[in-house]
Structure 1
Amino acid sequence: MIEVDRSRVLAYRLAEHGLTDETADGRNALDLGFQDTPPGTAVVGTVARRWSPPADSTAVIWSVRGAPHLHRRSDLAALAGALWPLSDADATARMRSAQLKEVAPRGIEAFAMAAQAMRDVVTGPMTKGQISRAVSDALPPEFSYYCPTCAAEHVSGQLFQQVGIFAGVRLLPGGRTTMLGPVEEVPAVPDKAHGTDGLIRAYLRLLGPATKADVARFFGTTATALGPAWPDGLAEVRVEGRTRLLPADRVDALTAAAPPRGVRLLSAYDPYLQTGDRDLLVPDKARQKEVWRTLGRPGVLLADGEIAGTWRARTAGRRLEVTITPYTEPGERIRGDADAEAARLAEARGAADVRVMWANG
C-alpha cells in the first residue's frame, strides 16, 4: 500500500479537475456534473476551468441527490441508469425525509411510480408548481404530505426532484419561476440500474483517494447499498492515517502530482468541493462551517492549491461586484490573479464591468 500526504492528494484532485494551469483540460469534471445552486452558477465552474461547453450540448437536470446539475446531454441516458437505485434498500436509504416514512419502505417501486407519473405529466414547458400538483394528484395519497409553506398537500420534494432525471425532465433557462420541460435523451424510466460502477469510478478518479462512505454520501445512500456496484481495479492508498481507494490506473498520476500556483474562484457547490473528507480540504473546523454552510453557502478562493478564503458576488446594474474574504493577507500576485478571475466571471455572466473588494477575514 502506498502512502501520500494531504498536499499530494489535493494536487492530484486539482489536476483531475483541470484547475492547475491555463492549459489544463477541465472537461473531465463534467463527469460528475456542475451543481447549479443557485440557478445560473454552474457557469462559475466552467469559467474556473477555462472551458465553455458548446451551445445546446448540455442541460440542467435534477440528478445526483435530486440537486440541479449541469450535464452533457449525451451522458443523460447513461446517467439515469447509473443513478437508478440498486435495490429496495438503496431506494429506501435515499428517502430519509420524515415526509416519506410511509413511502420509503416501498423502495424501488416508489421511485418507479413517481418517475412515471412525472414523465406522463411533463409533455411540454410547465412550472415546477404545476408539475408538483399534477404528480401529487397522480400518485396515491401516502406520497403527499401537508406543506405549511404552500398550505397544500403535495409530494415530498426529496422524491420529486430525485426522479427528475428518470422522468426525462430538465430545467429550462431564464425567468424567476422554475420552469421544466422534457428532454429527449432519456427515453424511458429505467427498469434497473446499470453503469453505477462507472459513476463510482468517476467519483474516485476526480475526488479520490476516498472511502466508500465518502462515495455513498455523494450518492445520498449508504456504503452497504452501493456494495453490489463497487468497481474492480482499485488501489488502496493511505492518507492522513486512513485507508482510501483510487482507480489503480491513476496511482502514478497521484504520486507525481505537484502543487499548482494560481487563483480560481469556485462556486459554493463546485465538483471539487463535493467531497466527503472536508477535513482534508479545510483542516480548520471553523472555516469548514463557513465553507459548507447549510444556507447561504459562499464560493471559495482557491490560491496555490489551497482554499484561502471565501467570496460572494452581487449584481449592481450592469456591474458584477465580487467581495473576497481571505483567510490571510494576500500578496500582490494573489490579488492580481483574483481580479483577473473576477473579470472572466463577469464576462461570462454578461456584466459590463466588475469591481473586486477585499474584506477583512
Structure 2
Amino acid sequence: MVETLTREQVMAHRIAAQGLHRDRALDPLSSLGLQDSGPTARLALAARTDGEVDPVARGLVDGWTHRGAPHHHPPAERNEIAVAARPFDDADAGARLNWSGPEQRRVGIPAREAVDRAADALVEVVTEPMTKGAASGGVTKLLPDALLRDCRPCGCVHVNEQLFRLSAFPVGVGLDPTQKTLLLTPPPADWERPVEGDPARAARLVLDYLRVLGPAGPREVADFVGTSPTAFAPAWEQALPGLVEVSVEGRRAWLPAGDLDAALGAPDPDVVRLLPPLDPMLQARDRPLLVPDEALRKDLYKIIGNPGALLVDGEIVGTWRPRASGKKLTLELAPLLPLAPDARSRLDDEAERVAAARDLKLAGLTGQAGV
C-alpha cells in the first residue's frame, strides 16, 4: 500500500530533516552541501545552529560542485562528491554543460572528452592558489578553439565558463573563499582523480536529496545535480531499491525507506526562521509545492537579486531583504499577510542572529504592515 502524505506533512518533514528545529547535531547536508554566495552559507548555518556559523571555521571545504555552483562540503565527503560530479557518459556531460545537439556538433568534441581536456589543463595550471582569471587564462591557452567562447563582459576569448567549473572538482581543484578575491586551490597531495563516473556512488546524491528535500522524484534530483533525468537515470536506479514510494498531492514521489516513519510523524514545524537566498530549503525543485502562491514564488526565484524567505510555522509566508549601512543592518520584511503577534516576537531573535552572522548590529525591522 502506498502511503499518502499531505503537503503540510512534507513541509514539516523537510524542516525537521534539515535541522531547522535546532535540536540535533548539525549535519552540513552531507553531499548536498551549502551553496555559497556572499553570506548565504553563514546565514543558512545560523538558521540551523546556535554554534559556529563560519563554514571555514567549521572545517568545511569549498568547490564548484552541483550545477557548477560553489558549495561548502564536509572534507570527508570531498572524494565521494568528486565521483558523483564525474559525468557518466557524453549524454550526461552534455546535459551538465547545457549543450544542445547543435552546440555539441559545432564543438566537434564529445562532451565528456571536453570535460577531461579542461580538467587536464586545470591540473597543469593550478599548482598554487591563484585567481579565477589567472587560472582561466592559463587553461584557455591549453585548449582547442572549439572549447573557447567569445565573452562580451570580459571583452576576450576564454574557456567556456560551465566547462571550466564542472572540470574543477573531479580533479580536486577547490576554492578558497576567505580572501578578498576568490582563489582556486590545487588538488590535495593525496587526491584520487575519478576515472569514470560511478552510478552506485552517485546514488548517494539521490538518497541525500530525498532525505532532506523529499519526497521527490527523479526529475527533481537530476535538476538539483544539473543534468537530465534520462542522463542521471543510472544513479536513480542504483538508489531505487532503498526507496519507498509515496503519494503527495496526487503525484508519485519517493523517500529513503528508513525515513517514512519520520515523515509521517514529523514534529509540528513551530519555528520562525529567516532563510537566506539559496538556502537548502529553497533548493527543492518542486517549487509549486514549496511555495504555492505564484506571485511569492516568482519573487523568491528571480534570475538575480533573490530575497530571503520568511518561514513561519511550516509555511513560507513572505520575503525579507537586508539593508546594510556601515556596521548597522536593517531587515525589510514583506509578509503576504499580517503576522501574528507571536510570530512577530520570535522574529526579533532571528533578526539578531542574521545580524550577528554578518558581523553587524541590528538596527531594526521594517516593512511589517499590520504586524
TM-score range, shorter chain: over 0.9
Q: Please tell me the residue identity of whatever aligns with 1:9.
A: V
Cα distance between partner residues in 2 of 1:185 and 1:263: 44
The secondary structure found in structure 1 opposite 2:274 is strand
Tell me the residue number matched to 1:136: 140
So what's the TM-score if we normalise by structure 1? 0.93
Cα distance between partner residues in 2 of 1:309 and 1:153: 42
1:258 aligns with 2:257: no
Cα distance between partner residues in 1 of 2:262 and 2:39: 33
1:27 aligns with 2:27: yes
Tell me the residue number matched to 2:61: 59
1:298 aligns with 2:307: yes
The secondary structure found in structure 2 opposite 1:224 is coil
Match of 1:216 among 197, 217, 222: 222
Question: Cα distance, 1:325 vs. partner?
Answer: 1.0
Distance 1:252 1:187, change over 3 A: same
1:41 aligns with 2:40: yes
So what's the TM-score if we normalise by structure 2? 0.91
Distance 1:54 1:181, change over 3 A: closer
Cα distance between partner residues in 1 of 2:183 and 2:208: 30
Cα distance between partner residues in 1 of 2:255 and 2:281: 16
Cα distance between partner residues in 2 of 1:72 and 1:171: 14
Distance 1:169 1:104, change over 3 A: farther
Q: Please tell me the residue identity of whatever aligns with 2:44.
A: G
Structure 1: which 5+ runs fail to align? Answer: none
Aligned residues: 359
Offset from partner CA, 1:313-348 (integer Å, 9 cap, x none): 132111122211111111222122112111112212
My pick for the range that moved more, 188-197 or 295-304, is 188-197
1:330 aligns with 2:339: yes
The secondary structure found in structure 2 opposite 1:119 is helix
Cα distance between partner residues in 1 of 2:8 and 2:28: 21
My pick for the range that moved more, 300-309 or 120-129, is 120-129
The secondary structure found in structure 2 opposite 1:235 is strand
Matches within 5 A, 1:1-361: 1-19=2-20, 21-27=21-27, 29-37=29-37, 39-50=38-49, 51-52=51-52, 55=57, 57-97=59-99, 101=104, 102-103=106-107, 106-184=110-188, 187-194=191-198, 195-230=201-236, 231=239, 232-360=241-369
Question: Cα distance, 1:258 vs. partner?
Answer: 3.3
Offset from partner CA, 1:114-138 (integer Å, 9 cap, x none): 1121122111121111111111111
Q: Please tell me the residue identity of whatever aligns with 1:75.
A: E
Alpha carbons 1:12, 1:253 under 8 Å: kept: yes
Alpha carbons 1:87, 1:108 under 8 Å: kept: yes
Cα distance between partner residues in 2 of 1:223 and 1:117: 30
Offset from partner CA, 1:72-131 (integer Å, 9 cap, x none): 122111110112111221111112157964348612211111112112211112111111
Question: Cα distance, 1:353 vs. partner?
Answer: 3.9
Alpha carbons 2:87, 2:197 under 8 Å: kept: yes
Alpha carbons 1:112, 1:189 under 8 Å: kept: no
Cα distance between partner residues in 2 of 1:156 and 1:334: 47
Cα distance between partner residues in 2 of 1:207 and 1:27: 14
Cα distance between partner residues in 1 of 2:67 and 2:220: 14
Cα distance between partner residues in 1 of 2:152 and 2:99: 16
The secondary structure found in structure 2 opposite 1:153 is strand
Alpha carbons 1:80, 1:186 under 8 Å: kept: no
The secondary structure found in structure 2 opposite 1:225 is coil
Alpha carbons 1:77, 1:185 under 8 Å: kept: no
Alpha carbons 2:65, 2:169 under 8 Å: kept: yes
Cα distance between partner residues in 2 of 1:243 and 1:305: 22
